[in-house]
Amino acid sequence: MTELPHPWDAYASAQAQLSTRTAIGDRSWGLEAALNRLVVSMPSDPAPFATVQASAERRARYSRALIARNVAALNSEAPSATTQMEARSDLIFLGRHLSAPDMASLLAVGLGNSASTEAARQRVARARRRARMLLIK
């Protein structure tokens, strides 16, 4: 068999490693990223291949840990029916006692919209302060 040109011997080696794996994990994602780099850019130096593989493995581990941490936090913080009823009651109370613009800005921020301008941030801060004062009484 003839010798493969430089990048293709690394490609064949990585493909052989992938073909023996039985599970998808960090190493698999690293090998896939390195293979993609070889195909897309055809580096002349084999060192970037190892760097790309190690970086992709690290990113896969970090992503998996981040997902696990956030999913666990979401699952553990499920509000109870009592908490939901109290929140609904507070929203109704605030809707009756806050001005319409204050309530609209609080609801917008609560739904995930950002207060992008300085004036909007100040309006939201004032509305929050008023809401806290009303709910404490």
Question: In this predicted structure, what is the pLDDT of residue 5?
Answer: 56
The average confidence (pLDDT) of the chain is 80
| Alpha-carbon gap, residue 21 to 27, rounded angstroms | 9
What DSSP character marks residue 3?
P
| Alpha-carbon distances of 97 from 12, 28, 42, rounded to whole Å | 70, 57, 66
CA atoms within 13 A on the CB side of 4: 8
- What would the pLDDT profile of 73-127 be if each residue is shown by its tens digit? 666 666 778 888 998 999 999 999 999 999 999 988 888 787 778 888 899 999 9
What pTM, to 2 d.p., does this model score?
Answer: 0.42
CA–CA separation, 74 vs 18, rounded Å?
34
What are the domain boundaries of the chain? Answer: 6-76, 81-136
Would you state the pLDDT for residue 20? 86
